[in-house]
Amino acid sequence: MRTIDETISVSSQITPAELTEIARAGFRAIVNNRPDEEEPGQPSGDAIRTVAETLGLSYHAIPVTHAGFSMPQVEAMRGALEGAGGPVFAFCRSGTRSTNLWALAEASRGTDPDTLVGKAANAGYDISSIRPMLDALSGQA
């Protein structure tokens, strides 16, 4: 798990069994940025959703493929972040897609792209490849 800021942490694929610890750590929502069956043996989104909801966590499936990001995905991530009522735990294969989607959602709220790039870098993610999108979404293009 890598903490980007007090509102979100990201990681690689999680299992349903790990959700108890995630809930104990104070997270309020889970965001799954992986499409089902991306890799053999990957837990299904439904399996993770069932356990998350049993633990009182909200669950959002916003799958991102290698085709890139769309505005509906950005808007869904923004909604998940705004409605979480506390810290969000997002995951994908490596945490990169989750970090990128978080940054795009935050840029759409007007957050400064330099701030987003810095937070991502502090967590070990280079999001410079999406900088033009961050600038455009934040109104700084």
Is the pLDDT at 118 greater than 80? The verdict is: yes
- d(CA 79, CA 60) in angstroms, rounded, equals 10
- Work out the average pLDDT over 107-125: 97
Strands 58-61 and 88-91: unpaired
Residue 68 has a pLDDT of 86
Domain count along the chain: 1
Sign of the four-CA dihedral 24, 102, 38, 124: negative
Residue 91 has a pLDDT of 98
21-57 pLDDT, tens digit per residue, is: 999 999 999 999 999 999 999 999 999 999 999 999 9
Sign of the four-CA dihedral 63, 65, 70, 74: positive
Sign of the four-CA dihedral 76, 82, 86, 87: positive
Residue 101 has a pLDDT of 98
* Structural domain for 18, as ranges: 2-138
55-83 pLDDT, tens digit per residue, is: 999 999 999 998 889 999 999 999 999 99
CATH number for the domain spanning 94: value is 3.90.190.10
- d(CA 108, CA 126) in angstroms, rounded, equals 19
